[in-house]
Amino acid sequence: MGHPASLSLRYLAELKSATVMTYLEMSRDIDHGGGTWAFTNCVWAPTKKRDGANWPFWEKVQEIQQHDIIIHLRGTPPNAYFVGYSVASGDGFQTTRRPPKAGEWDYADAFYRADLTGFTSFHQPINLTDVFTSRRAELESYFELNNLKGSEKLNVFFVRQSGRLQCLNGAYLSDIDEALLKALFGDGHQIVQPASNKVVISVETGSQIALMRVRIGQARFADAIKGLYGDRCCFPECTVSDARFLVGAHIARWSDNPKLRGELGNGLCLCLIHDRAFEIGLFTLDQHFRVFVNPNFERSSSSVVQDLLIHHGEQIRLASVLPLEDALIEHWIRTGIEP
């Protein structure tokens, strides 16, 4: 079962939009811009350096997509702290409007900007110098692995110089992937600085970010699935197209099959009735995407089952990305149906 080649570009674009990216904003000045440009309202940077050159850590502001997560690091070491995170309320863009307090970037005549919402502070601010000390081994090995990636290398905010970890000058907006999050904040354990016995990172910080990523990831997945199916239930002849009654449903549950997370082929756009019927196993889809009603319920007097039976053997309305066979098999196993 493959996808026609002509659709693969669109598939990639949609898949990208279903992935939540995480960025780190590193700002020495606490206020950063003033007015509606100030901290927690947006991230912004000039489009060019004073000498006219481009700078990847500024251009990255443009790459932000709605619902991406931005973690904030503020101040100058040893007084730099990870203070919390925000969510992008829209995509990054370029503008000739200016921050009221542009500071040392006042020379610029254009800026990149991405608006933020929902600033959430960490349970306690996390001191960067403490993290560099207590997570040194993890961060050094992350740094080395990243350097081996060549052109795939991420733009990260720190370097190893003369045997020490330190912030990369001017790395205003940098990439944070799953592995770097883990290297920085651990995977849910309490991290104690050996020298002072001080708690550096509480259990909550790592899981706070992880939960946020899952929540946003699921919301974005649901939106992408609904878009893929043209905001209409894909069950044969079902006409529900009111967004309030539609679900971007998973075929295989995320918890059952992490590999299929974010895969659009693991989703179906269904109305509330058909989502519920699919979820509790009243029906599944066979390998040709035809409705297959669970034989255990055939004699049910439920009008929902009777309505499903009318369409037994009919193919659902397919989208440009076909349901994945792996996901369907997972659904057959979970619901005990063998179409």
Binding site for Zn ion (CB under 5 A): 233, 235, 238, 240, 271, 274
CA dihedral 79, 84, 87, 88 (to 10 degrees): -10
Count of CB atoms situated within 10 Å of the CB of 195: 9
Taking the least distance from each CB to Zn ion, the nearer of 183 and 247 is 247
Q: How far is the CB of 307 from Zn ion (least distance, A)?
A: 10
**Which of these, 151, 171, 152, lies nearest to 60 by C-alpha position?**
171
Taking the least distance from each CB to Zn ion, the nearer of 24 and 234 is 234
Q: How far is the CB of 239 from Zn ion (least distance, A)?
A: 8
Residue ranges of alpha helices (H) inside 7-114 are 8-17, 56-63
Is the separation of the CB atoms in 313 and 285 below 8 Å? no
Q: How far is the CB of 233 from Zn ion (least distance, A)?
A: 3
Taking the least distance from each CB to Zn ion, the nearer of 72 and 311 is 311
Q: How far is the CB of 217 from Zn ion (least distance, A)?
A: 25
Is the separation of the CB atoms in 206 and 186 below 8 Å? yes
> From residue 208, how far is each of 1, 85, 97, 188 by CA, in Å?
39, 10, 35, 9
Q: Tell me how far apart the alpha carbons of residues 48 and 56 are, in angstroms, rounded to a whole number.
A: 10
Taking the least distance from each CB to Zn ion, the nearer of 171 and 285 is 285
Q: Which two tokens stand for residue 276?
A: 């519920």
Q: One-letter amino acid identity for 10?
A: R
- Which residues are registered as beta bridge partners of 291? 285
Q: Which two tokens stand for residue 32?
A: 């950063």
* Residue 322 DSSP code: P
Q: How far is the CB of 11 from Zn ion (least distance, A)?
A: 24
Taking the least distance from each CB to Zn ion, the nearer of 60 and 274 is 274
By residue count, the chain amounts to: 339
Q: How far is the CB of 240 from Zn ion (least distance, A)?
A: 5
Taking the least distance from each CB to Zn ion, the nearer of 160 and 317 is 317
Taking the least distance from each CB to Zn ion, the nearer of 131 and 271 is 271
Taking the least distance from each CB to Zn ion, the nearer of 112 and 235 is 235
Q: Tell me how far apart the alpha carbons of residues 130 and 10 are, in angstroms, rounded to a whole number.
A: 44
Q: How far is the CB of 268 from Zn ion (least distance, A)?
A: 10
Q: Tell me how far apart the alpha carbons of residues 82 and 78 are, in angstroms, rounded to a whole number.
A: 12
Contacts made by residues 199-203, CB under 8 angstroms, sequence distance 24+: 200/126, 200/127, 200/130, 200/131, 200/134, 201/126, 201/131, 201/134, 202/123, 202/124
Q: How far is the CB of 301 from Zn ion (least distance, A)?
A: 21
- Please count the helices (runs of H) and the strands (runs of E) in the chain: 9, 15
